[in-house]
């Protein structure tokens, strides 16, 4: 989306930083959303230079548009100008006729409200297709996102997961994120999950309605100013209901902020892992959204002050060319081996069922010989896959430099130690190194370093450590004397923390939003 509401503040340097963050997160395609703008030459040139593909929407989104004059001529002139302008860019991969217009007409009760008036179907099916065919005939055109090209909508709906592109918003709006595995779309061109921006961004820009710092408000989560920075229908309710079965709903605002950011990262990574596992049936996944244009609770991975949320680190891991993903189906545990490279992946997966505190209970090795651009499940032997005590055990899988951890029950049911880490913080030339060693299983170790230094950037996050293992985080900042702050909460956080905090219960709120897109 546009990187700032004030478009003249978006510089080439800023766009370069944003696209560098995309590349660093292993993102290889950027969809320019139909509710935004045709981006500047700086944007497309930067994508050309970085080898990022661009999916370009025509700028119609989530609404009905009259097809009469003079709007018809205005939209055609705008489309022609931008097709000619952008066609020379090698990064441009696809023209798309708009966002959720066809889906909206079919499923959001528009016909009754329109009472026979035109609504924009001819833009998607006729005008844009003709303009692309005339002015950029070598590029493919899709009538909308989502859409099922070539099918009569009376037989196949635009958002049918078996055809064309698909948007998955039931997860965010109504059902738990584990339901991503309930469908296998051909190409998921939009899905996501919310969380607040980084703590520093939030507290610098959003103050309580009475003028106090937000964190000092009587009820920060329900403060009117904070709620103004949450534009999803019942957004906080959806966040709480998303938290409840996994991490619980912390009563303290700082804990709630960390929990929602963690849950966002887990939810989206869960979806990506599922979609990648089903290649080539599922041929792609585009996350809504990369960036933000204001300091708001949203679906973004990078907030409006350019700070990455934990989601950004989760994207980097989930979109890595090679990855390991645990899958449970029909009560059987397997490891999906994902190889999105041009080289085969051969080796042995080392599997270990372990106690949280220490000690291996069962081990196995399984050979892998995976061809390029493929994925394949590898069964976990029963003695490793079946726990004696689900709350106190994990399974670890390793192949080369890749590792992943399986837990048998949600965090709320695990016997996670509250303080599982030994921490060593040392000054470095450009900041600090923070080395953590797990005395007991430490889940999703993360440094929220912006809380103590506005310029801080951490090289890694969401690191899960079995007992006895260590990891070193590198914190880049010009601020000195942070050794003590970096080694403890609220900067150093784990999922273990949330197992031991006070909780509130989310209110029972029905999902009555007629629009499923957010």
> Averaged over 103-113, what is the pLDDT?
95
By the 10 Å C-beta count (0-12 exposed, 13-18 middle, 19+ buried), 420 is classed as buried
In order of start, what are the domains of the chain with their CATH numbers? 1-160 (3.20.20.80), 193-319 (3.20.20.80), 322-413 (2.60.40.10), 421-504 (2.60.40)
pLDDT, tens digit (0-9, with 9 covering 90-100), for 115-128 = 999 999 999 999 99
pLDDT, tens digit (0-9, with 9 covering 90-100), for 8-45 = 999 999 999 999 999 999 999 999 999 999 999 999 99
Q: Tell whether the model's pLDDT for residue 246 goes beyond 80.
A: yes
Query: Using CA atoms, how far apart are residues 411 and 266, in angstroms rounded to an integer?
Result: 12
Q: Strand ranges (DSSP E) for 400-462?
A: 402-407, 421-428, 431-438, 442-447, 457-458
Please report where in the chains the tokens 């001529």 appear, as a residue.
73
Query: Using CA atoms, how far apart are residues 294 and 303, in angstroms rounded to an integer?
Result: 8
Confidence label for 506 from pLDDT (cuts 50, 70 and 90): low
Please report where in the chains the tokens 């703008």 appear, as a residue.
37
Identify the H or E element spanning 346: strand 345-355
Identify the H or E element spanning 270: helix 253-277
Which tokens is 11 given?
């510089």
Percent of the chain with pLDDT over 90: 95
pLDDT, tens digit (0-9, with 9 covering 90-100), for 262-315 = 999 999 999 999 999 999 999 999 999 999 999 999 999 999 999 999 999 999
What pLDDT is recorded for position 359? 85
| φ/ψ (deg, to 5) at 495 | -65, -25
pLDDT, tens digit (0-9, with 9 covering 90-100), for 5-15 = 999 999 999 99
Output the pTM of the full model. Answer: 0.95
> Averaged over 214-237, what is the pLDDT?
95
What pLDDT is recorded for position 318? 98
Query: Using CA atoms, how far apart are residues 172 and 62, in angstroms rounded to an integer?
Result: 17
Angle value at C-alpha 204, between 198 and 210, nearest 5 degrees: 120
Tell me the angle at which helices 253-277 and 310-318 cross, rounded to the nearest 10 degrees. Answer: 20
The closest alpha carbon to 60, from 74, 45, 46, belongs to 74
Active site (catalytic) residues: 100
What pLDDT is recorded for position 118? 97
């Amino acid at each position: 989306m546009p990187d700032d509401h004030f478009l003249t503040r978006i510089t080439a340097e800023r766009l370069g930083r944003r696209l560098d963050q995309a590349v660093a997160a292993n993102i290889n395609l950027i969809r320019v959303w139909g509710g935004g703008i045709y981006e500047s030459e700086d944007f497309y040139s930067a994508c050309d230079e970085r080898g990022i593909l661009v999916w370009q929407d025509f700028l119609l989104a989530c609404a009905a548009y009259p097809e009469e004059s003079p709007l018809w001529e205005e939209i055609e002139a705008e489309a022609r100008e931008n097709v000619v302008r952008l066609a020379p860019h090698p990064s441009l991969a696809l023209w798309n006729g708009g966002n959720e217009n066809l889906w909206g007409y079919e499923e959001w009760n528009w016909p009754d409200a329109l009472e026979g008036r035109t609504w924009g179907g001819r833009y998607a099916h006729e005008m844009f297709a003709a303009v692309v065919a005339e002015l950029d005939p070598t590029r493919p055109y899709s009538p909308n996102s989502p859409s099922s090209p070539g099918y009569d909508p009376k037989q196949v709906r635009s958002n049918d997961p078996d055809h064309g592109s698909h948007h998955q918003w039931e997860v965010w709006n109504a059902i738990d994120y584990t339901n991503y595995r309930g469908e296998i779309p051909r190409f998921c061109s939009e899905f996501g999950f919310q969380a607040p921006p980084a703590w520093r961004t939030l507290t610098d820009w959003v103050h309580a309605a009475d003028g106090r710092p937000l964190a000092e408000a009587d009820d920060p989560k329900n403060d009117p100013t904070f709620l103004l920075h949450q534009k999803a229908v019942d957004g906080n309710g959806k966040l709480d209901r998303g938290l409840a079965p996994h991490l619980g709903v912390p009563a303290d605002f700082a804990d709630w902020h960390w929990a929602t950011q963690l849950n966002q990262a887990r939810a989206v990574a869960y979806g990506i892992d599922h979609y990648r596992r089903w290649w080539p049936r599922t041929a792609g996944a585009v996350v809504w959204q990369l960036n933000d244009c204001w300091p708001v609770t949203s679906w973004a991975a990078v907030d409006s002050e350019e700070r990455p949320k934990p989601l950004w680190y989760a994207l980097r891991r989930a979109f890595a060319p090679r990855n390991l993903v645990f899958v449970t189906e029909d009560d059987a545990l397997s490891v999906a081996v994902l190889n999105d490279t041009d080289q085969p992946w051969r080796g042995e997966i080392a599997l270990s069922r372990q106690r949280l505190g220490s000690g291996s209970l069962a081990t196995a090795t399984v050979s892998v010989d995976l061809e390029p651009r493929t994925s394949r499940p590898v069964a976990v032997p029963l003695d490793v896959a079946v726990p004696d005590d689900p709350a106190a055990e994990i399974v670890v899988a390793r192949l080369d430099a890749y590792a992943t951890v399986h837990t048998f029950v949600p965090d709320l049911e695990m016997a996670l130690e509250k303080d599982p880490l030994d921490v060593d913080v040392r000054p470095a030339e450009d900041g600090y190194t923070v080395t953590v060693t797990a005395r007991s299983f430490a889940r999703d170790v993360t440094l929220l370093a912006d809380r103590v230094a506005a310029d801080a950037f951490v090289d890694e996050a969401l690191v899960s450590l079995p007992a006895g293992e260590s990891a070193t985080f590198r914190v880049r900042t010009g601020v000195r004397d942070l050794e003590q702050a970096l080694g403890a909460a609220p900067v150093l956080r784990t999922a273990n923390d949330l197992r031991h905090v006070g909780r509130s219960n989310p209110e029972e709120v029905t999902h009555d939003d007629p629009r499923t897109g957010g």
